[in-house]
Structure 1
Amino acid sequence: MKIELHKIKISEVVKDYKDSAEEGVSAFGGKLDIRPKYQREFVYSGKQRDEVIRTVKNGFPLNVMYWVKKEDGNFEVLDGQQRTISIAQFVNGDFSIEFNGRTAMFHNLTPEEKEQIMNYDLMIYHCEGKDKEKLDWFKIINIAGERLTDQELRNAVYTGPWLSDAKLKFSKTNCAAYLLANDGGSLVSGSLIRQEYLETALSWISNEQIEEYMAKNQHDKNANELWQYFQDVIHWVRKTFPNYRKEMAGVNWGELYNEERYLSIRAFTPNMKREAYERQDGVCPVCKKEFAIGEMEADHIKPWHEGGRTVAENCQMLCKEDNRTKSGK
């Protein structure tokens, strides 16, 4: 892991500053992603923003910032996003603050004041290394201010065309994944901009081995495999459970789909049924009557459509009448 401290003047950092809203914020001559595409926007209050400028104006030190070096040689801000945006916005003339009893925008300052701000040295760590090293380091420094989510940290490491395409499909406002998962009732919970839809899809397809999956696919040209898998899961859920219930939002559909697709274990095995029957002494827990095992049917205690597993602990034997009238069947 290589971590180097650099002094970079504000004039260099804010060069070619461009705020394209959801398309991202860039600067440093186009070589710095201050806020990448489709990533949540941290918003400083006016007071916090003004204090950043006053700190610079008074020549006081700002906290160090962290940039991660990407494979193409450009950078992405890991820590210091709002400080950088506040400075760039002020120099760009987007807001004014009060200096020594007078309210001024950047263009109202004297040449000496402008020069003092533009020549201010920002202390910035450049971080580069192996993906695992960077991820471990980012988790350590992610301890103050607006903390990044686990998926946002992963996105800072596994950059490339695959991630750009995945974020287009899973992180943009009203993206394809959001529209699909909410057509007929929400099946996925979480925030697009906080990368929670993307994290959910990755968790499903990788059986929760997200970092391994991202590392494997990092240099692919697109995220079509992930998108096709997500579509398959959602279409399967709609077909299998045509009557939507609000409890269906946030269920681990990927796990259930994978079980159904690869293991075919939606139905309880004879041994599971026998174990449940003996545990109940042949008594139906609904009507409290005793039945022969052939007069009963296996049922998920926690309904399968709510994430209930097809395991012995979740199996109960109901008489046929109660099983067919049970709520949730």
Structure 2
Amino acid sequence: MGLSGAYGRTDDDESVRVIHTYLDAGGTLLDTADFYGAGHNEQLVGRALRERSRDDAVLSVKFGALLTPGPGIPGGGADGRPDAVRNYLTYSLQRLGTDHVDIYRPARLDRRVPIEDTVGAIAELVEAGHVRHIGLSEVGAETIRRAAAVAPISDVQIEYSLLSRGIEDEILATCRELGIGVTAYGVLSKGLIGGNAASPVLAAAFPRFGGENREHNDALVARLQEVADAKEATLAQLAIAWVAAQGDDVVPVVGARRAAQVESMIASTSVTLDDDDLARIDALVPRGAARGTRYPEAHMADLDSEG
């Protein structure tokens, strides 16, 4: 998403170098969506993979978020109708320059359409060979169970970080009961942890970046500096390592816009956290300590994962 303008201006040539740096280092998972840059991101990924083996990458694609012209985050709802699912994928395959995607998932639950219908349509695409696996995104435990009753679900993509631990209530346990992985995004809380904050437009819209909330959250994150220093790691690397330490079934997804960020991200895999480290981090930044919702109020209503 960050390579398509979500956090400021980008350069396509540099973005392709970023993807190549990641792949050359042994990375495989590329997470995109048809609405990132209104198709731009898929075209970019397709360009980056043009001279590579298709098997070099695991393409995870989200669909369904409805857009309106102009800047900002998607906020027009979602479309999970079976006909729309097939239509979205047709365009994605063209932009990506491939005949299949590895994981296909609705970005948000379309409350007008039973999840069984949406997942059933993806299952038909699996049978046809256009999709390898079915994923979900930002859905609650009940929806996960209903979807899994229709077809095997590979993973649930959902925000999970030191500042966003809501999935620990029920969603994580449900996924583990059903043998479903978790793909964790927002690991750095949109830049609150160890990086530059989100772009001014997005930062102004997200409650965690506003006024006293921002001061409180910055102070929370600052508590972790001593732990990071002891591990000879950056705050970002510590945050990535913390998510990775939550289980082999939890995969952090971290965005990068420069090759140096990719290298730093990869270095996080050498940061080892034992039980004592995890307990100390939990004491410093207790669950639920962050102030402000993780999305603007209007968008929180679109999150089935929030109940």
Q: Work out which structure has the larger RCO, using CA pairs closer than 8 Å and 6 or more positions apart in sequence.
A: 2
- TM-score interval, normalised by the smaller of the two chains: under 0.3
Query: Could you tell me the TM-score, scaled by structure 1's length?
Result: 0.24
